[in-house]
Amino acid sequence: MTTIGPSPTQLRFAERPIDIPGTPESRWREWLSGRTPTDLEVTVDRLIVLGAHPDDEVLGVGGIMSIAARAGVAVTVVCMSDGSGSHPGSATVSPERLVMRRHLELDTAATLLGLDRPRWHGLPDGDLAAHHEAMCRIVDGYLDACGDESVAVLAVWSGDGHPDHEALGNCAREVCTRRGVPLWMYPIWMWHWATPGDDAVPWDRLRRAPLSPLEVAVKHAAVHAFASQVRPLSDDPADKAILPPHVLAHLTRPTEYVFT
């Protein structure tokens, strides 16, 4: 199943690309401080964490994954795409070299968070919507392998605005609904294009995971393992950082949020 045309959230993301200021983190913190969402409780045997690109899962729920692993929960990190599309105009790094770099970056970040090596599936970055059935088979395979374990799935939010995020989120929802598996979804780009109280966001389903100062520091180190994303590849405009400071500010705060 492939979405025909951009979704409303994709259009809103396109109207506010990452190289222009979005909603300031100070505004989010002020608004979120007046809300009291329920804390997320991870009480399953295994957590399967789905990312569209190598860094999504660490940016969105690096703290949740690390806390769960230390509590004895088996955490399986699954990256769907090859990560080759972040710098399409670069003359510095070829797509093939970028795949290798991003693979190593995610493996390094996972090690810093105390996680097992991520699982890679190498689907085309930027074209996950065309691989809906393949992604569903992949997710089904991981759930089949759980046997008698209790399990929950964490996936990038289907309303996040990036077409790959929406494609993977829609796949996760379809599989988890069919199998009766709990699904929690983490936003990434939403914090950039949305505004507090935005009608496009299901705030009633928001859950939080507070992080200790040590957990924040560990996540910060893991996020900065993605050198190809947080720093420019060169001075060429085509090599600019994909995650500039105003975006990272939303993703390195002392609380992580998911939608249930």
> Percent of the chain having pLDDT more than 70?
95
- Per-residue pLDDT, averaged over 214-237, amounts to 96
Answer whether residue 12 shows pLDDT above 80: no
Confidence class for position 1, pLDDT limits 50, 70, 90: very low
Fold held by 40-259? Rossmann fold (3.40.50)
Tokens found for residue 144: 């089949």
For 190-202, give the DSSP string: HHHH--TT-TTS-
- Per-residue pLDDT, averaged over 186-212, amounts to 97
Closest-CA residue to 75 (of 129, 117, 41): 117
| CA dist., res. 259 & res. 33, Å (int) | 17
| CA dist., res. 232 & res. 176, Å (int) | 38
The 10s digit of each residue's pLDDT in 180-189 is 999 999 999 9
| CA dist., res. 47 & res. 88, Å (int) | 33
Sheet arrangement for strand 151-156: 38-39, 206-210, 255-259, 183-186, 151-156, 46-51, 74-81, 119-123
Domain ranges across the chain: 40-259
Cα→Cα distances 150→31, 42, 128, 153, 221, Å? 35, 11, 28, 11, 30
